[in-house]
């Protein structure tokens, strides 16, 4: 008997009738893997705070969140590495108790020759034209005018008797990570200050209080976001995102997703920071003295990884070029330092000959199990993205194929085409889907999976089938180690 769901057996009208059944036709996959950029808009921004919004365009965001806002700058950095993915922004307002970071350029002596001084606000260069006729005060005024002329900078400037004070547009801790510098590219980069000019740079400091991230995250509900760009590294903010992501991986939500952040500090500061983190869903890429703020690193890294994971979640996330400014040569980490970072739950990078930053191995901050013992089960972020992809595939298969079926015990005899399923039939279907995922390079070791797969009817709930799914994600080729056992020539002397 054919298992119709709509055409009744009592129908006596004439001739041909058909109903559609798509349970064997669904070859779709999970929807677009969306990114969420978390960041502050300016006080003049008019995006509803704590409400996610589709990133329509960078110009749209600059107009809504404010040029020079953290959120606009992060979106620009993200889009440099992911130009086509679906991106949403989560606009935050400055904390009411927050204080904006400030720093100074103090003109000690005025220039004695005409020229151009190149000052840096983070990784953004500002050319300041100076002349030998200027005093310290007028040189500072020229510097202020050049800074304030660029509304895309994350700071504003003011002059007082030769002291240029720059103030972060957004209040909060993140402003402390806006590096101030001068002529960072040196003479090779065409950056030579005018003769006689002496400037003392005092770094940004004094920024306090990040926005309440827990409140913003609570507004996301059940919306799907696979890649979260995290601008903050204070404990309260990181814990809020940790708890949010853990809830998204729970059995009753199955939303999944991970996060990317950056951190600025010396090797010692980075390892000290890592001791307080143990999150399987967070990737942190630290750098020491890079002109690009950590939240720009986070956005650019997330864009690069999102592009790769959407194409194939099994591809390793090393060797991805990033569009951020590398630290100065003396602050770049060698292989020993990079291994220290990687063994402490932090990612690493190298710098190519042309100054491009290239990802080395990326790891999550997860290092210890709940009992405090070393645990490498969630070491690599690729593992969780592969598991999420496999779970979505199996869920899609089971719900599409057996969404409205009757459940019978194994051995029950029923005609083909009946809307009846057994645990054995479900098991066979899962094996078939696993085989297809293996062919696509998402999983491996079909025979091991088949040997350990358990699909059985629940003993107490006769309408439920339980399964043990021993999914084995595919691995990544990360290293080749060769012992060069050379031979001497055996030619005739």
pLDDT tens figures, 135-184:
999 999 999 999 999 999 999 999 999 999 999 999 999 999 999 999 99
The CB density around residue 170, as the number of other CB atoms within 10 Å, is: 31
pLDDT tens digits along 223-270:
999 999 999 999 999 999 999 999 999 999 999 999 999 999 999 999
For residues 40 and 172, the answer to whether their CB atoms sit within 8 Å is yes
The CB density around residue 488, as the number of other CB atoms within 10 Å, is: 5
* Residue range 304-323: mean pLDDT, rounded: 98
Number of H helices, E strands in the chain: 11, 20
> E strands of 301-384, at which residues?
321-322, 349-351, 357-359
Please give the span between the terminal C-alpha atoms of the chain, in angstroms, as a whole number. Answer: 89
Q: How confident is the model at residue 490 (pLDDT cuts 50, 70, 90)?
A: confident
Tell me the Ramachandran region of residue 64: left when phi exceeds 0, alpha when psi lies from -120 to 50, beta otherwise: alpha
Q: State both tokens at 189.
A: 């980069």
| Domains, the chain | 35-93+211-380 (no CATH), 102-205 (2.60.40.4390)
* Model pLDDT, residue 27: 57
Q: How confident is the model at residue 489 (pLDDT cuts 50, 70, 90)?
A: confident
Q: How confident is the model at residue 17 (pLDDT cuts 50, 70, 90)?
A: low
pLDDT > 90: what percent of the chain? Answer: 90
For residues 174 and 230, the answer to whether their CB atoms sit within 8 Å is no
pTM: 0.93
* Residue range 397-423: mean pLDDT, rounded: 91
DSSP 354: T
pLDDT tens digits along 114-133:
999 999 999 999 999 999 99
Cα–Cα distance measured from residue 128 to residue 312, given in angstroms and rounded to the nearest whole number: 46
* Residue range 265-281: mean pLDDT, rounded: 98
């Amino acid at each position: 008997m054919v298992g119709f769901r709509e055409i009744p057996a009592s129908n006596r009208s004439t001739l041909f009738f058909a109903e559609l059944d798509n349970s064997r036709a669904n070859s779709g996959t999970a929807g677009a893997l969306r990114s969420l950029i978390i960041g502050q808009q300016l006080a003049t921004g008019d995006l509803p705070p704590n409400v996610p919004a589709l990133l329509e365009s960078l110009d749209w965001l600059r107009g809504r969140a404010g040029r020079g806002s953290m959120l606009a700058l992060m979106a620009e950095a993200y889009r440099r590495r992911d130009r086509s993915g679906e991106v949403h922004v989560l606009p935050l307002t400055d904390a009411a108790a927050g204080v904006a970071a400030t720093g100074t350029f103090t003109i000690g002596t005025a220039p004695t020759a005409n020229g151009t001084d190149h000052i840096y606000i983070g990784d953004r260069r500002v050319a300041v034209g100076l002349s030998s006729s200027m005093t310290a005060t007028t040189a500072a005024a020229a510097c202020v005018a050049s800074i304030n002329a660029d509304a895309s900078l994350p700071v504003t400037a003011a002059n007082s008797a030769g002291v240029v004070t720059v103030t972060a547009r957004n209040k909060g801790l993140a402003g402390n990570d806006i590096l101030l510098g001068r002529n960072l590219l040196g003479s090779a980069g065409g950056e030579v200050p005018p003769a006689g000019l002496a400037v003392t740079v005092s770094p940004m400091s004094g920024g306090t209080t990040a926005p309440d991230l827990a409140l913003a995250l609570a507004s996301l509900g059940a919306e799907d976001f696979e890649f979260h760009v995290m601008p903050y590294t204070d404990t309260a903010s990181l814990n809020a995102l940790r708890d949010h992501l853990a809830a998204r991986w729970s059995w009753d939500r199955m939303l999944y997703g991970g996060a990317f952040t950056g951190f600025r500090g010396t090797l010692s500061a980075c390892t000290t920071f890592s001791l307080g983190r143990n999150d399987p869903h967070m990737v942190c890429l630290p750098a020491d003295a890079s002109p690009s703020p950590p939240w720009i690193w986070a956005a650019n890294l997330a864009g690069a990884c999102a592009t790769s994971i959407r194409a194939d979640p099994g591809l390793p996330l090393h060797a991805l070029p990033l569009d951020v400014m590398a630290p100065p040569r003396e602050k770049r980490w060698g292989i020993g330092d990079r291994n220290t970072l990687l063994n402490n739950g932090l990612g690493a990078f190298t710098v190519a000959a042309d100054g491009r930053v290239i990802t080395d191995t990326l790891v999550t901050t997860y290092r210890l199990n709940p009992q405090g013992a070393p645990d490498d089960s969630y070491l690599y972020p690729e593992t969780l993205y592969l598991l999420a992809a496999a779970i979505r595939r199996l869920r899609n298969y089971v719900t599409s194929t057996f969404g409205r079926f009757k459940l019978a015990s194994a051995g029950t005899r029923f005609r083909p085409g009946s809307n009846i399923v057994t645990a054995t039939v479900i098991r066979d279907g899962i094996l078939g889907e696993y085989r297809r995922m293996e062919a696509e390079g998402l999983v491996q070791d079909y025979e091991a999976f088949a040997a350990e797969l358990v699909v059985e009817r629940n003993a107490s709930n006769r309408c439920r089938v339980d399964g043990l799914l021993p999914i084995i994600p595919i691995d990544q080729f990360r290293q080749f180690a060769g012992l060069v056992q050379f031979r001497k020539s055996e030619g005739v002397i």
